[in-house]
Amino acid sequence: MREYVNSKIMEYSLILDWIENEIGILQAKSVHPQIISFLKNRVSDLKQSNGCLKAILNIGNNRVINRTLPIIHDIEYRIYMLTCHYIPGLKREQESDLFLRNLLLSNVERMGLSWVKDILVRLDGPHAALPALSEIPIIFAPPQQANSLLDMAGIYHELGHIVFQRFKEIADNLIETISRHFSERMKEIGPMRPEKRTQLEDAIKDAKNYWTIERLNEIFSDIYATYTCGPAYYFSCVDMIVKMGGNPFNISTTDVHPPGAARVHACYKTLLPAYQEEEITLLVRNMWETYVKSYQRLPDFELKCADVLIDSIVETSIQNIKNLLPNARRYSSTIRGLSEARTLTSSDSLETILNKSLKILLKEPKYYPEWEKNVFAILHSKHAKR
């Protein structure tokens, strides 16, 4: 083990020297002083951790040397974040990435993410977020996102992951909600044969265990996205599930995402009552109901994702958003008809634009391309590289 630790100390020394050199090159041209400062601090922390490995090795006690593994694992993860995400992200950054970064930064206060100091946008992959450092998250999106509103509501889901990562109490409160729900299911079991009772109790325990932290993260992010983006995200969720295909009631234990039907239900329930009855929402809901008619609600789904459980998850999530993100604005804008939807103003929030986009896309699709082109002319004038 001593030889292995010695080899890691040398490896980390060389890698950290390389990272420092890369940061120096990036600093000369970067528009991200916060990220550069973060990278430098991380390198400093990593050098201290490598120094700890040296100190432990010098003690010479084999039992103490075995304690180096957790330190090695931590160093590996932090180096991975720097060398595979932050540094290459800064290296490949283009004007389109900076445009979307500026657009998102102009909206984070309204979304309640007051702690975010900068965002590194990478338009080179599907929607995803790396909230390892919640003050400077990385947002991935497809390249066309710099010139298309289609699917942009999905970014709000990724911002939800940043919220979930920052506030550990959200997971705790949702776990409590899950536990309470299934404890009540246990109490509802009536008289039956012992073997039948054992079988049902095991099924309820399995249903409770289905709701891992990862799945709670995903459904919370859907709820946060709908809370802040309104019907535009509800449609985005329906669109995503429908175009993926398959039975939306099917539960996969290998997928961290809850089944599509549970996610769509959560989004609908998150909408303010006025939006649940709004014309566009009713149109989207009708699309969804037409799609799910072809599929059967499975018994496993009814136990693990019962409507009453999803409703409780929505209620707990909204309460957490209100408590922990007091500045987060719940989407409540009113767009009166297509004429107002077609009208663009420089004061429109991104959420308002996305909801106007939804109205035109579904009601007047032939006008949509030119309208979107005008939207980006306004957005680029406000948020282009600076």
**pLDDT of 98-154, one tens digit each?**
999 999 999 898 999 999 999 999 999 999 998 777 899 999 999 999 999 999 999
pLDDT tens track for 301-335: 999 999 999 999 999 999 999 999 999 999 988 88
pLDDT tens-place string over residues 70-93: 999 999 999 999 999 999 999 999
175 by Cβ neighbours in 10 Å (0-12 / 13-18 / 19+) ranks as middle
The alpha carbon torsion through 180, 329, 331, 214 (nearest 10 deg) reads -40
Closest CA to 255 of 292, 220, 214: 214
Rounded to whole angstroms, the Cα distance separating 384 from 386 reads: 6
Reference 297, options 251, 266, 264, 240; nearest CA is 251
Residue 134: count of CB within 10 angstroms of its CB: 17
pLDDT digits (tens, 9 = 90+) for 253-298: 999 999 999 999 999 999 999 899 899 999 999 999 999 999 988 8
For the four alpha carbons of 256, 257, 262 and 268, in that order, the dihedral sign comes to positive
